[in-house]
């Protein structure tokens, strides 16, 4: 059974850090680009970051550049999102997603429609 499972969310104070994990089962992440998305209440889903499968290229939304870092550990079949300097506006449910193709990833990594598999999400709340 193909499955993506996110973990690592929680409640953190502004300025704090969290590391989200996206673990795959039933397939190998080696051949998939992995994206992180988030959705806050009442808002549209938005792309946060992505890492390619071919050469490990990374992409970030402007609102997280310099604060978030995406990485992958193919041996553990897991992708991580290190989130530092968290702000209240980062509060959302965070999802990871897998895309079998790297084609045009640099221009379209934040288009959710290109991803085949999605996790159930993990809640991140940034509040004092």
pLDDT > 70 fraction of the chain, expressed in percent and rounded: 100
The whole-number pLDDT of residue 1 equals 85
Average pLDDT over every residue of 13-39: 96
Average pLDDT over every residue of 23-34: 94
Nearest to 80 by CA among 103, 51, 110: 51
Nearest to 56 by CA among 36, 26, 34: 34
Does residue 113 have a pLDDT over 90?
A: yes
Nearest to 81 by CA among 112, 59, 103: 59
Mean pLDDT (the chain) is 96
């Amino acid at each position: 059974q193909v499955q993506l499972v996110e973990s690592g969310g929680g409640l953190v104070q502004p300025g704090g850090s969290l590391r989200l994990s996206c673990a795959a089962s039933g397939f190998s992440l080696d051949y998939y680009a992995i994206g992180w998305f988030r959705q806050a209440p009442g808002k549209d889903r938005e792309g946060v970051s992505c890492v390619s499968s071919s050469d490990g290229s990374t992409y970030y939304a402007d609102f997280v550049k310099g604060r978030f870092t995406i990485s992958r550990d193919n041996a553990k079949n897991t992708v991580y999102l290190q989130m530092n300097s968290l702000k209240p506006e980062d509060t959302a449910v965070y999802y990871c997603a897998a895309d079998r193709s790297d084609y045009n990833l640099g221009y379209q990594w934040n288009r959710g429609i290109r991803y085949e598999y999605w996790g159930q999400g993990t809640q991140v709340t940034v509040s004092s």
